Structure formats: C-alpha cells, structure tokens
Chains A and B, each alone.
Chain A
Amino acid sequence: MRVRAQSLREFFLKQPAIVDIAQGRILPMTATEILIQAKNLTKKYDNFLAVDNIDFEVFKGECCGFLGPNGAGKTTTIRMIHCVSPLTNGQLSVAGMNVSASPREIKCMVGVAPQENNLDPDFTVLQNLVVYARYFDIPKSTALERADELLKFLQLQEKRDVIIDQLSTGMKRRLILARALINEPQILLLDEPTTGLDPQARHLIWDRIINLKKRGVTIILTTHYMDEAAELCDRTLVMDYGKIIEQGTPPDLIKKHVGDEVLEIDYNDETMATLRKTLPDTRLEVISDRIRVFTTQPHGIFENYLKNHPAKGATIRNANLEDVFLKLTGRGLRE
C-alpha cells in the first residue's frame, strides 16, 4: 500500500532510516537507538499498584507490543508515556526527554489512539481532525491538507462531512487512528486498536500499521489478540499484575516457552497415562476434554508418538503466541 499524498511521503522519508523505504522492508536493526526508556517505573492508585517497578526500552523504528490480561498495567504504562498520568516513582524518558519535565514537547511528537472512543461527537469527521490539529498549533491550511490525506489513507473520504454518531465502530477506530497521525508523530501509541472490529476492518488497520512501521514510525501497541501481536510486533513485552514477566520477539517467545508444535488429543485417562509414560519431558494441559501437549524438543516427536499410538481426532499444529500467553498468565479470569 502506498501513501498517495506527497507531504505524508516526505514526512515519512524524513524519519531516520532504519528501514529501506524503496524496498519497503525492514533492515536488520543494527542501530538500536533507544527512544523510550523506563527505569523502576511505578504507578500506584490509592491502594492499587497498577505498574510495579518495571524497566523497559523501546527502540527507534520498532513495533513493540504490550500484552497482558485486563488490569495488567498496559494502559497505565501507555498513559505515562504520553504524559497524561504522572509517575508515582521511577524514571521515564521519551526521545531523551523526561516525561515530567517536558510533557508538551513529548506530546508534540507522539500520536495516541486510545482504547476508548473519545472522538468529538459535536463535530463531523473532517472537523474532528481539523480541531484536533489546532491543539497542536498546526495551521489550518496544513491541517486541511493532512486531514484529506489521512482520510484517504484510512478510506474515510466518503464520510468526510458525516457526524461521528453515524459512523460504525470500525470507522470510528479508523478515524481515531487518522486523528493520532494528524501531528505526524514519530511515536504512535495504539491501545487495543482493533478491539471489537470485523475482520475486514481489522485487516485494513493492520495494513496501515505495517505501512507506518515501514516508514519508520515507532509503534507501541497493546492488544488482547495474539495473532495481531504476532503479525505486527517486532518485540513483545508480557505484563501481568503490573510487572513485565517476559519479553522477546514472538518467534523467540514461542520457541522458548511452548516449542515448535503442539499436539492435541481427545481426553481420556488411558491416553493421559500413555502420554505421561511415552513423552515424559512434555507439559500436558487439559482444556475442555482435549489434551494439549507442549514440548521444547525438536520436530518429529509427536509424529513418532502418533505412529505408535494412533488416536482419532489427534492434530499436530504450530505453537503460537496465544499458547505462550496462556502459559505465562494462566487461565484464570481476571475481572
């Protein structure tokens, strides 16, 4: 997908080249410039510790995913990065600037798509973008140009003069993304950008996020969809109870925690006993009458097992990020 508008392209070309724009592919990250850095970052609300003494870095040009169950502290962390929530303790810097000392400078270079719809219902689609641009001191003519480009970029041109109430959920999400881009941010914070969307709308947003990433925008994303994280994120941080409990690239995390493959078999006591005996180094999990078998051993052991112990309805599938997530954060409901 190419951005048609001239000035958007120029803007993205201005971004320091970690990416090869001509080829649209990500170059190896040799220059790992730290853009966001947190040390002992802590946030306490009354008696609730939302973020508990965490350290992390986000590198320039990467898409970094914050994963975790509801209440893990993802949104709070995002809110501290864009300076709307003061820190209880620790340090947090964005582009070398302290969030407490330079909030305005940081907000100028950050685009935020919040979880909750906070589009201005008193205005049309276009007015939402133009009024928002005004808060950034963007001149009206520039704002109008950019708004038109962004409406094209997110396929909302036809809704330009429609009032917000008349937009579908998917359109609202796209408009929120457009609004987050109006100040041509170097850092984009996306808090659950595709929650509640149909597959078409999701894929459009994914496509645009990939597009922005290729153009050098640093992206921080929270999501509950593990396929989304696997698709978009160069690196993920898993949070739970206010702490970062694991981090790494999605393939590394999968390999480390759940191996390459997962074997699923219908549950019965006999199968369970056989599995325990034949595959002693595996982890077994029973979910709704199916046994899931995880291993970090190399390919082929499940095939061998099934050759010797044929079982009806048994499947071998690739391990995925969701397996990792559930292993790390458990199956208990959080809310």
Chain B
Amino acid sequence: MTETDNITSYLQPPKLTYRVWKVWLRNWNVFMKTYKVNFFPPLLEPILYLLALGLGLGTIVQEIEGMTYIQFIAPALVAISIMNSSFFECTYASFVRMYYQKTFDAIITTPVNIEEVIAGELLWGATRSLISSAIVLAVVAAFGLITSPLAILVPALAFIGGLMFASMAMCFTAIAPNIDFFNYPAFLFITPMFLISGTFFPVTQLPYAAQVIALGVLPLTQTVNLTRGLIMGRLETILLYSLIWIVSVTPVFFILSINLMKRKLIK
C-alpha cells in the first residue's frame, strides 16, 4: 500500500446503519442509572465560575465590547462545557469502555460493526455536550445573563460542536497506548484552549501570531464566538466564519476517528 492509498483510506466514509443508535442507547442507559451524579458537575461548575470570576473578579474588570465581565464569560462557560463533556467522554470514558471493559469487543460479536460502535460513541459524546450545555445555559439564564432569544439555538450548536470535540478526542483515543496518555491532549490542547480562545478575555488581547492561531486553528474559539453571538444576540460576520469552520472540520475528524479506531481494533 502506498502513502496516498493510506491517506485516502483514512478518509473513506464508514458504512453506518441505524445500529449506531443501539450503541448510543447503551451509553444513555448507563448515564441514566447515575443521572443525579452526572447532572451535578455541569450544574455546580458554572455557578462557581460566575460567582468567583463574574461577580468577584468582574468588579475590577472594565466592560469588554460593551458587555460586563460576567456577561462576557457566561457564554464562554457554555462553550467550555460543550468542549469538556464530549472531549472527556470520548477520551477517558471511551478508553475505559474499549480497553478495560472490553465493551466494544462484546458489541462487535453482534450484527453491530466497529464503525457503528465508534459512531455511536461520538454521537453519545455530542449528546453529553448537549446535556451539559443545556444545564449551564439554565444556570446562565438564572443569573439573568441571556439577552437574546437566539440562545434557544445553543443546544443545537452544542450537539454539532460536541460532535467535533468528540471526534477529535476519539482520534487521541485511537492513538493512545494507555490511559495516562490523555494527559498530553488534556494539558497541551484542552487547557491552553480553555484559557486563550476568547473565553476569559478577548482574542484581540493576544499577540498577533497567537490571534491567528486562536481564530484559525482552535476549535473552542469558534464555539465561544457562536455561543456568545447567540446568547448576547450579536450577529456578526465572524459567526458565519466560525459556523463554516465547525461544519467543515467536524466531518473530517468524524470519519478520520472512525477509521483510526477501526485500524486499532480490527486485527
């Protein structure tokens, strides 16, 4: 097999059927068994951030682009929950199911194939993002920080954005030799993004080169742009850019991650 064959084979669209749904449902069933514990972090975390950063730090921070500090960070908290839920679901949690629990091995002895297992995991990751972001959004609403009815579109965005982060996460899972490996993407990819994607200060405050990276390469920047646009009702052209960015990148990583996982698991 030549180099080019390899690359195209990694981008071969997988054959998926309705069975993807069965894998999703398995994870949903497990999630609902412990739903009280699962709803707790996305409920508590934004409250802590809004109190400490929004009301605490915010009193000494001037208005940003016409928004108070707490108004500025609230949509970012929604975007961060979109990122974290699906990313950690499809790294640590998927790895546990794949490696320690052998859940994937068990499923592929049934008519469900490996592509469908991974697609089900990715859609489940996206669903986790949707659930978490909806809870964060409710907290933000309770703080009176939603100014636009467009906020109703955030869950839909959360699902698409969640699918993007899930797919990226699954690529790491496919190349992870062991579970400790996830420290690398968590600290080299997620944490920096968490800080510099226009979350707690505007991207324009970054040095020029960093601005280019944040806007051109980092997926969280796009997600923050969109949540802020929808929650604050600021429809700017940058939103269109961010939406196109997410919609074009997601399918690539979705397909790539499935093929990488197939390579890893089918021997």
Contacts and interface: CB of A to CB of B under 8 A. Distances in A.
Interface stretch (B21-29, B36-44, B50-58, B140-148): B21-29
Interface of B: 19, 22, 25-26, 29-30, 33, 101-103, 105-113, 266-267
A249 B112 CA distance: 36
Please provide the 8 A-B residue pairs with the shortest distance between their CB atoms, ordered closest to farther: A118-B102, A135-B110, A118-B106, A104-B111, A122-B30, A112-B109, A135-B112, A107-B111
Given A107-B110, A132-B106, A85 B266 contact: yes
Nearest to A46: B267
Interface string A81-119: 010111000000000000000011001101010101111
A57 interface: no
Contacts of A85: 266-267
B111 A136 contact: yes
Looking at chain A's contact residues, the main secondary structure is loop
B109 A84 contact: yes
B100 to A, nearest CB: 9
Contact of A82 (B101, B109, B113): B109
Nearest to B117: A135
A135 B19 contact: yes
Nearest to B19: A135
Q: What interface size band does chain A fall in?
A: 20 to 34
A117 B105 CA distance: 10
Contacts of A127: 29
A85 B105 CA distance: 11
Given A116-B102, A120-B103, A122-B33, A104 B266 contact: no
26 contacts: A45-B267, A82-B109, A85-B266, A85-B267, A104-B111, A104-B113, A107-B109, A107-B110, A114-B109, A116-B105, A117-B102, A118-B102, A118-B103, A119-B106, A120-B26, A120-B101, A120-B106, A121-B101, A122-B30, A122-B33, A131-B26, A131-B29, A134-B22, A135-B19, A135-B110, A136-B111
Contacts of A132: 106, 110
B29 to A, nearest CB: 7
Contacts of A134: 22, 25-26
A103 B113 contact: yes
A112 B108 CA distance: 11
Interface in A166-207: 183
Nearest to B103: A120
Contacts of A114: 105-106, 109
B105 A118 contact: yes
A114 B29 CA distance: 24
Contacts of B33: 122
